[in-house]
Structure 1
Amino acid sequence: MFQHDLGAPELEMLAEVLGQRILTTGAYTERVEALLADYLGVKHALCVTSCTGALHLSLLGLGIGPGDEVITTPMTFIATATAIMEAGAKPVFVDVEPETGNIDPAKIEAAITERTRAIMPVHLYGLMADMQRLRTIADRHRLSIVEDAAHCVEGRRDGIRPGGLGETACFSFYATKNLTCGEGGAIVTNDTALYQRLKLLRVHGMDKTANDRAREGYTHWDMPVFGWKYNMSNIDAALLVPQFARLPATLARRQALAERYVDRLTRLADVDIPAQVAGTPDTCIHAHHLFPIWTERRDAVIAALQHRNVEVVVNYRAIHLLTYLQDTLGHRPGDFPVAEALGRRTLSLPFYPSMPPEDVDAVVGRLEEALAEAR
Structure 2
Amino acid sequence: MSQPVPFYRHDLGRPELDEIADVFAGPILTTGDKVAQFERMFADYLGRRHALGVTSCTGAIHMSLLALDIGPGDEVITTPMTFIATATAIQEAGATPVFVDVEPDTGNLDAARVEAAITPRTRAILPVHLYGLMCDMRALREIADRRGLAIIEDCAHCVEGVRDGVRPGQLSDAACFSFYATKNLTCGEGGAVATDRDDLVDKLRLLRLHGMTKTAADRHREGYVHWDATLLGWKYNMDNIQAAILIPQLKRLDAKLGEREKLARRYADKLSEISTVRMPTTRADAVHARHLFPIWVGEGQRDRLIAELNKRQIQTVVNYRAIHLLTHFADALGHRAGDFPIAERMGDETVSLPFYPTMPLEFVDIVSDAVANILQAARTSGATLS
Within 5 Å, give how 1:246-285 maps onto structure 2.
246-276=252-282, 280-281=283-284, 283-285=285-287
Counterpart check, 1:166 vs 2:168: no
- Secondary structure of the equivalent of 1:56? helix
Alignment match, 1:80: 86
Supply the distance in 2 between the matched residues of 1:226 and 1:359 (Cα, whole angstroms).
49
Alignment match, 1:96: 102
- Secondary structure of the equivalent of 1:275? coil
How many equivalent residue pairs?
371
- Secondary structure of the equivalent of 1:188? strand
- Secondary structure of the equivalent of 2:263? helix
- Secondary structure of the equivalent of 1:23? coil
Supply the distance in 2 between the matched residues of 1:28 and 1:373 (Cα, whole angstroms).
54
Q: Give, as a single letter, the amino acid of the residue that structure 1 aligns with 2:368.
A: V
Which of 8, 11, 19 matches 1:13? 19
Counterpart check, 1:305 vs 2:280: no
Which of 335, 343, 347 matches 1:339? 343
Alignment match, 1:366: 370
RMSD over aligned CA atoms reads 0.7
- Unpaired segments ≥5 residues, structure 2: 1-6, 380-386
Asked if the contact 1:304/1:373 (under 8 Å) is kept, the reply is no
Q: Give, as a single letter, the amino acid of the residue that structure 2 aligns with 1:173.
A: F
- Secondary structure of the equivalent of 2:177? strand
Supply the distance in 2 between the matched residues of 1:213 and 1:43 (Cα, whole angstroms).
26
Alignment match, 2:206: 200
- Greater CA deviation, 231-240 or 363-372? 363-372
Supply the distance in 1 between the matched residues of 2:376 and 2:71 (Cα, whole angstroms).
50
TM-superposed deviation, 1:373: 3.6
- Unpaired segments ≥5 residues, structure 1: none
Counterpart check, 1:121 vs 2:123: no
Q: Percent identity?
A: 63
- Secondary structure of the equivalent of 1:108? helix
Alignment match, 2:383: none
Q: Give, as a single letter, the amino acid of the residue that structure 1 aligns with 2:159.
A: V
Instruction: Give the TM-score normalised by structure 2.
Output: 0.95
Deviations 1:280-312 (A, max 9, x none): 41x100000000100021111111111111111
Supply the distance in 2 between the matched residues of 1:265 and 1:309 (Cα, whole angstroms).
19
Deviations 1:346-366 (A, max 9, x none): 100000000001110111111
Alignment match, 1:4: 10
- Secondary structure of the equivalent of 1:361? helix
TM-superposed deviation, 1:372: 2.5
- Greater CA deviation, 293-302 or 40-49? 293-302
Counterpart check, 1:349 vs 2:353: yes
Alignment match, 1:292: 294
Supply the distance in 2 between the matched residues of 1:236 and 1:100 (Cα, whole angstroms).
32
Supply the distance in 1 between the matched residues of 2:252 and 2:281 (Cα, whole angstroms).
27
Which of 46, 68, 71 matches 2:52? 46
Supply the distance in 1 between the matched residues of 2:187 and 2:166 (Cα, whole angstroms).
26
- Greater CA deviation, 188-197 or 300-309? 300-309
TM-superposed deviation, 1:64: 0.3
Instruction: Give the TM-score normalised by structure 1.
Output: 0.98
